Amino acid sequence: MVIRRIGMLTGGGDAPGLNAVIRAVVKTAIHDYGWEVIGIRNGFDGLIPPTSAEPLTLDDVRGILPRGGTILGTANRGSPLVRRVDSNGRVELVDQTPEAIATLEELGIDALIVIGGDGTLNIGHELAKKGVPVVGVPKTIDNDLPETDQTFGFDTAVLTATEAIDKLHTTAESHHRVMVLEVMGRDAGWIAIHAGIAGGADVILIPEIPFHVRKVVEKIAERDRAGRHFSIVVVAEGAKAAGSGQFYIQPKDELSLGRLGGIGEWLSDTLAMSSGHESRCTVLGHLQRGGTPTAFDRVLATRYGAAAVRSVAKGMFNHMVALKGNRICEVPLERCVGRIRTVPPDGELVQTARGLGISLGI
Ligand code: F6P
């Protein structure tokens, strides 16, 4: 198969390092292979008429390495697999992959690099099953994709959360308060447990281990007895008390996973009533997704982008580039979609946290 022109898009929530991938794809494709690169705007939306795509040159990617966000734009609602379409006043859900595939043909795109998390990679996999030559790049601050040791964006998110914990420590100590920090991660506690350990949290609550408020209160009391009249509690947005459900700001529907959030405020209020301390909640939110990527994420994103171009050159389609140990490899997309990678409740990280005296709420 002769490749002359490749397409690239970024889908789902943004993550620090997206621009580093885009830059690496453009530079490697042009320098090493002499291909043209077409940037598709706003995820798969750019493939649905009216099409939004344009060539990316070396000039277009100059200076973007340290920039957060994505110069291509992204979308994390809707997908060509199920799109809400207005037809004569009636809203219908339709499969628009035929339109997306037709656009790729019109644009003369010989292969498509999709940079995204579970949702985006799943769409890429479905397009691949219909004959589109697709290569995936694993992105998400949540670090919850299977078949790769790390997604880019995670390291930066953990640094942001760790810096927040460091700042909360000083004010918690001054005011003898309980400080609750709610971090992102959806159904995986990777950000919470990494940042919690890095920031020296006293309690870390993750979705994988349903917690008991009583155990959190006991930990705060234990610290009081030791003369430490403040506590730092890191709670993942998807964590839940034993026997209860997750907190949602916006429920799931047929087009989206819903928006998690609210556990931090609830926990802070509950702890204020039961621990004898004032308590405050900080919701770190989208600060975890913004800003300049760490050096680690820049290197990982760059390696992924360059490897994705090499995968296209080798004809290794319907695969995702992945990190195993310190090696970049390729994994079939079907093994990467439809499931997430969560923190093993009996794994080494949890054991390490326990050994440090951190409470996991059980
Ligand atoms: O998946 C990445 C992520 O940042 C999650 O951690 C979070 O729950 C979600 O996206 C937030 O998405 P939105 O951009 O819709 O607020």
Where does residue 299 rank: exposed (0-12), middle (13-18), buried (19+ CB within 10 A)?
A: middle
Which protein residue has the closest C-alpha to ligand 1 atom 14? 13
Residues marked as catalytic: 142
The answer to whether residues 25 and 147 belong to one domain is yes
Paired residues of 286 in beta bridges: none
* Three-state DSSP state, 134: strand
Ligand 1, atom nearest to 261 Cα? 8
* Three-state DSSP state, 287: helix
Q: Which H helix or E strand runs over 349?
A: helix 348-355
The answer to whether position 361 is within a domain reads no
Does position 76 have pLDDT exceeding 90, yes or no? no
Residue 69 — very low, low, confident or very high, per pLDDT cuts 50/70/90? very high
Ligand 1, atom nearest to 286 Cα? 4
What pLDDT, on a 0 to 100 scale, did the predictor assign at position 230? 98
Q: Is the CB of 256 under 6 A from ligand 1?
A: no
Q: In angstroms, what is the span from residue 314 Cα to ligand 1's centroid?
A: 34
Write out the two tokens for 325. 């140990």
Q: Which residue, 182, 259, 228, 187, is CA-closest to 357?
A: 228
The answer to whether residues 13 and 130 belong to one domain is yes
C-alpha 298/C-alpha 282 separation (Å) is 28
Q: What is the 3-state secondary structure (H, E, C) of 187-229?
A: CCCHHHHHHHHHHCCCEEECCCCCECHHHHHHHHHHHHHCCCC
pLDDT digits 0-9 by tens, 36-67? 999 999 999 999 999 999 999 999 999 999 99
Q: In angstroms, what is the span from residue 186 Cα to ligand 1's centroid?
A: 7
Q: In angstroms, what is the span from residue 222 Cα to ligand 1's centroid?
A: 35
Write out the two tokens for 20. 């580093």
The answer to whether residues 39 and 148 belong to one domain is yes
The answer to whether residues 280 and 302 belong to one domain is no
What pLDDT, on a 0 to 100 scale, did the predictor assign at position 355? 98
Write out the two tokens for 28. 């490697």
Q: Which residue, 189, 191, 192, 169, is CA-closest to 179?
A: 169
The answer to whether position 335 is within a domain reads no
Q: In angstroms, what is the span from residue 230 Cα to ligand 1's centroid?
A: 30
DSSP string, 5-41: EEEEEE-SS--TTHHHHHHHHHHHIIIII--EEEEES
The answer to whether position 212 is within a domain reads yes
The answer to whether position 217 is within a domain reads yes
Q: Is the CB of 139 under 6 A from ligand 1?
A: no
Cβ neighbours of 309 (radius 10 Å):
28
pLDDT digits 0-9 by tens, 154-185? 999 999 999 999 999 999 999 999 999 999 99
Q: Is the CB of 185 under 6 A from ligand 1?
A: yes
- 187, 191, 250, 259: which to mutate for ligand 1, most atoms within 8 A of CB? 259
The answer to whether residues 207 and 351 belong to one domain is yes
- 118, 141, 288: which to mutate for ligand 1, most atoms within 8 A of CB? 141
Q: Is the CB of 13 under 6 A from ligand 1?
A: yes
Q: In angstroms, what is the span from residue 59 Cα to ligand 1's centroid?
A: 31
Write out the two tokens for 73. 């734009």
**Tally of structural domains, the chain:** 2
The answer to whether residues 9 and 147 belong to one domain is yes
Give pTM, 2 decimals: 0.96
The answer to whether residues 225 and 351 belong to one domain is yes
The answer to whether position 332 is within a domain reads no
The answer to whether residues 108 and 162 belong to one domain is no
Domain, as residue range, for 120? 5-152+293-325
8-state DSSP, 248: E
The answer to whether residues 72 and 187 belong to one domain is no
Q: Is the CB of 186 under 6 A from ligand 1?
A: yes
Q: In angstroms, what is the span from residue 133 Cα to ligand 1's centroid?
A: 28
pLDDT digits 0-9 by tens, 272-327? 999 999 999 999 999 999 999 999 999 999 999 999 999 999 999 999 999 999 99
The answer to whether residues 232 and 182 belong to one domain is yes
The CATH number covering residue 180 comes to: 3.40.50.460
Determine phi and psi for 19, rounding to 5 degrees.
-65, -30
315 near 128, Cβ under 8 Å?
no
Q: In angstroms, what is the span from residue 227 Cα to ligand 1's centroid?
A: 38
284 near 234, Cβ under 8 Å?
no
Q: Is the CB of 7 under 6 A from ligand 1?
A: no
The answer to whether residues 116 and 14 belong to one domain is yes
Q: Is the CB of 26 under 6 A from ligand 1?
A: no
Q: Which H helix or E strand runs over 183?
A: strand 178-183
pLDDT digits 0-9 by tens, 105-160? 999 999 999 999 999 999 999 999 999 999 999 999 999 999 999 999 999 999 99
The answer to whether position 121 is within a domain reads yes
Which protein residue has the closest C-alpha to ligand 1 atom 13? 13
Q: Which H helix or E strand runs over 99?
A: helix 97-106
Cβ neighbours of 55 (radius 10 Å):
12
Cβ neighbours of 32 (radius 10 Å):
12
Q: Is the CB of 289 under 6 A from ligand 1?
A: yes
The CATH number covering residue 34 comes to: 3.40.50.450
The answer to whether residues 199 and 131 belong to one domain is no
C-alpha 153/C-alpha 296 separation (Å) is 9
Q: Is the CB of 306 under 6 A from ligand 1?
A: no
The answer to whether position 330 is within a domain reads no
The answer to whether position 226 is within a domain reads yes
